[in-house]
């Protein structure tokens, strides 16, 4: 008896993982989208505060998660 094995056409594609920082940089350069975590250690206190205020004005306060 002959067995048939279905081969998914997507199975041959190996996707590379994109570094999140590279993806953020591409979003900024190509589409003008800015993605910054307020906890990013590269930011000083004033920059974090400005980002938080802008985000809260546009989207509301973040919900606090415990656990």
pLDDT tens, N- to C-terminus, the chain (67 residues): 567 777 777 766 667 788 999 999 999 999 999 999 999 999 999 999 999 999 999 999 988 766 5
34 in a structural domain:
yes
- Count of domains for the chain: 1
**Domain hosting residue 52, numbered range:** 9-59
Cα 15 to Cα 18, 20, 30, 45, 52, distances in angstroms: 9, 15, 21, 38, 34
4 in a structural domain:
no
29 in a structural domain:
yes
1 in a structural domain:
no
42 in a structural domain:
yes
53 in a structural domain:
yes
């Amino acid at each position: 008896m002959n067995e048939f094995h279905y081969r998914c056409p997507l199975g041959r594609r190996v996707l590379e993982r994109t570094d999140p920082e590279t993806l953020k940089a591409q979003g900024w350069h190509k589409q003008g989208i800015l993605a910054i975590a307020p906890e990013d250690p590269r930011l000083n206190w004033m920059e974090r505060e400005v980002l938080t205020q802008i985000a809260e004005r546009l989207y509301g306060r973040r919900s606090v998660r415990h656990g």
